[in-house]
Amino acid sequence: MGTEDSPGQGSKRDLRLRKIMQPAVTIAPDATEREALGVLLKNSVPGVPVVESDGTLAGFVTDGHLLASALPKYLSTMEDVSFIGEGGDSWIHYFTESADRPVSEVMTRDVSQLDVGKSEVVAAHKMVHDGVSSVVVTENGRVVGIVNRLDLYAAILGLDEG
């Protein structure tokens, strides 16, 4: 078995996160939910790290956080809301009201993160253990990238060399 700094036995490739991570698209804690949604849509990603001005990780915000924030709180206690009807206009005000709320109010602060020098095996284990599809990659406490499941598969199977 390889060490944290080297890939598994028999591997000729460096699969540390430094080599396989993608640049992280980030957003500031004081950005609004509307701005966050714009970043998610523009970059076709389901979530982004929320990063302080010094580069340190403050949290992570997803499309799920934004949607949950926009819906009335009492709906979260119901298993079925189909009886309410489909009058879309009656729900729009919930979305517009939450749009100017800072992401710091809806983000999670419990973020799966690993140091840039960790291996793909450590990242895969972290994703499975934490039940997440990506991990934020940090170096010296600052966000430097992100690795998702597809990045891992591509690197492990050599699909990223094409």
DSSP 68-105: HHHS-GGGGG-S--GGG---THHHHHHHHHHTTSBGGG
The Cα 60–Cα 72 span in angstroms is 22
* Number of domains within the chain: 1
Cβ(37)–Cβ(161) below 8 Å: no
Q: Is the pLDDT of residue 3 over 50?
A: no
CA distance 149 to 152: 5
105 alpha-carbon distance from chain centroid: 16
Residue 46: the pLDDT is: 93
**Exposed/middle/buried for residue 152 (C-beta within 10 Å: 0-12, 13-18, 19+):** buried
Is the residue at 95 inside a domain? Answer: yes
Is residue 3 domain-resident?
A: no
| Whole-angstrom distance, CA of residue 102 vs CA of residue 3 | 41
41 in a domain, yes or no?
yes
Residue 56's CATH number: 3.10.580.10
Spatial contact of 101 and 69, defined as CB atoms under 8 Å apart: yes
Whether 5 is in a domain gets the answer: no
Q: Is residue 119 part of a domain?
A: yes
Tell me, what amino acid is at 38? G
Domain range for 72:
17-161
Higher pLDDT, 85 or 158: 158
Q: How far apart are CA 68 and CA 156, in angstroms?
A: 35
80-113: per-residue pLDDT in tens? 767 666 655 566 766 777 788 999 999 999 999 9
Do the Cβ atoms of 26 and 49 come closer than 8 Å? yes
- Is the separation of the CB atoms in 136 and 62 below 8 Å? no
Q: What percent of the chain is modeled with pLDDT above 90?
A: 62
Assess if residue 12 is contained within a domain. no
Query: CB of 135 within 8 A of CB of 127?
Result: yes
Asked whether the predicted pLDDT for residue 75 surpasses 70, the reply is: no
**Residue 2: inside a domain:** no
Two tokens at 7?
């890939």
Chain segment 40-66, per-residue pLDDT in tens: 999 999 999 999 999 999 999 999 999
Q: Is residue 10 part of a domain?
A: no
